[in-house]
Amino acid sequence: MNSLDHSSVPPLKVESVVKCFHQGKTAIAALDGINLTVETGELVAIMGASGSGKSTLLHAMTGLTDIDAGTVSVDGQDLAALSDYQLTKFRGLNIGLVFQAFNLIPSLSAEDNIRLPATEEPGLEERVDALLERLDMTDRRTHKPDALSGGEQQRIAIARALITNPAILLADEPTGSLDSVSGQEICRLLRELCTEQKRTIVIVTHEPHVAMWADRVVVLKDGKHLAEFAPSRHFDPQKIASQYQGVLNAAAGVMA
């Protein structure tokens, strides 16, 4: 499959985003002035303790959560400038989503699940074939999800997320339901899609062995962008865990 050629506009730009949830009279700032730009072909992992705002940020990037301030732009489009109808259409074409639970339609074959978000158009069948081949799933194309392993289901979910050639792919704990071997295969695949095809991918994860595949790890704390670091290129989860802990310790003023 050819590399994508999105323009020089960053595929994802998050600027000064604030999102508050209200519980009675108390407001919780789930996102408190977040900035993040992701460049074409980059794989970014978002880490942070439970409650730090990772899922809220991911939802803000899809436009599924209304934000209180700031802007989220995908491929140069400010999501808040779109009507609900336009946003749904825009999201379907430009934002690929991958979830922990795969979310495939059980009654459809693997290939029909992949076709689902796409409109009938010239070239669609070639794209389905190319994705099945790239993801090593050609011989499973007529299988229903319950006849596929977890790792295979996630491959089909990734193919479905890519069928429209979206500007960005957002993945929420994509290996959370997989054993460690299948999880690493999915991470390696996501890494290769960025390197080979210039896909742009953001992964929310708790796991150092997922984050180690990223170009950049962004650490959130209390809804703020605490710090970021480039993972060591040794693909060593222990090293990532200590880089991550180092960032948290530095923020807390703890000496190494």
Ligand X SMILES: Nc1ncnc2c1ncn2[C@@H]1O[C@H](COP(=O)(O)OP(=O)(O)OP(=O)(O)O)[C@@H](O)[C@H]1O
The half-sphere exposure of 205 on its side-chain side, counting CA atoms within 13 A, is 29
Nearest to 118 by CA among 140, 99, 96: 96
Under the binding rule (CB under 6 A), the answer on residue 51 touching ligand X is yes
Please select the residue that binds ligand X; options are 40, 56, 113, 205, rule is CB under 6 A: 56
Under the binding rule (CB under 6 A), the answer on residue 50 touching ligand X is yes
- Which listed range, 51-59, 83-91, 104-112, 248-256, lies at the site for ligand X (CB under 6 A)? 51-59
Q: Report, in Å, the least distance between residue 206 CB and ligand X.
A: 6
Return phi, psi of residue 171, to 5°: -125, 125
Please select the residue that binds ligand X; options are 14, 30, 74, 132, rule is CB under 6 A: 30
- Which listed range, 21-29, 91-99, 233-241, 248-256, lies at the site for ligand X (CB under 6 A)? 21-29
Please select the residue that binds ligand X; options are 6, 14, 38, 52, rule is CB under 6 A: 52
Q: Identify which of residues 101 and 147 has a Cβ nearer to ligand X in the complex.
A: 101
Nearest to 221 by CA among 42, 64, 46: 46
Please select the residue that binds ligand X; options are 3, 7, 16, 21, rule is CB under 6 A: 21
Q: Identify which of residues 23 and 119 has a Cβ nearer to ligand X in the complex.
A: 23
Question: How far is it, in rounded angstroms, from Cα 252 to Cα 101?
Answer: 34
- Which listed range, 3-11, 53-61, 79-87, 232-240, lies at the site for ligand X (CB under 6 A)? 53-61
Contacts for 123-131: CB closer than 8 Å, 24+ residues apart: 124/163, 127/1, 127/163, 127/165, 128/159, 128/163, 130/1, 131/1, 131/159, 131/162, 131/163
Nearest to 167 by CA among 242, 92, 106: 92
Categorise residue 75: left if φ over 0, alpha if ψ from -120 to 50, beta otherwise.
left
Under the binding rule (CB under 6 A), the answer on residue 16 touching ligand X is no
Q: Report, in Å, the least distance between residue 154 CB and ligand X.
A: 19
Nearest to 45 by CA among 204, 248, 234: 204
Under the binding rule (CB under 6 A), the answer on residue 53 touching ligand X is yes
Other Cβ atoms less than 10 A from the Cβ of 2: the count is 8
Under the binding rule (CB under 6 A), the answer on residue 28 touching ligand X is yes
Strand order of the β-sheet with 12-23 is 26-38, 12-23, 69-74, 77-78
Quote the tokens at residue 229. 């670091």
Under the binding rule (CB under 6 A), the answer on residue 247 touching ligand X is no
- Which listed range, 23-31, 110-118, 128-136, 189-197, lies at the site for ligand X (CB under 6 A)? 23-31
Under the binding rule (CB under 6 A), the answer on residue 175 touching ligand X is no
Under the binding rule (CB under 6 A), the answer on residue 64 touching ligand X is no
H or E, element range at 22:
strand 12-23
Under the binding rule (CB under 6 A), the answer on residue 2 touching ligand X is no
Under the binding rule (CB under 6 A), the answer on residue 231 touching ligand X is no
Chain contacts with ligand X (rule: CB under 6 A)? 21, 23, 28, 30, 48, 50-56
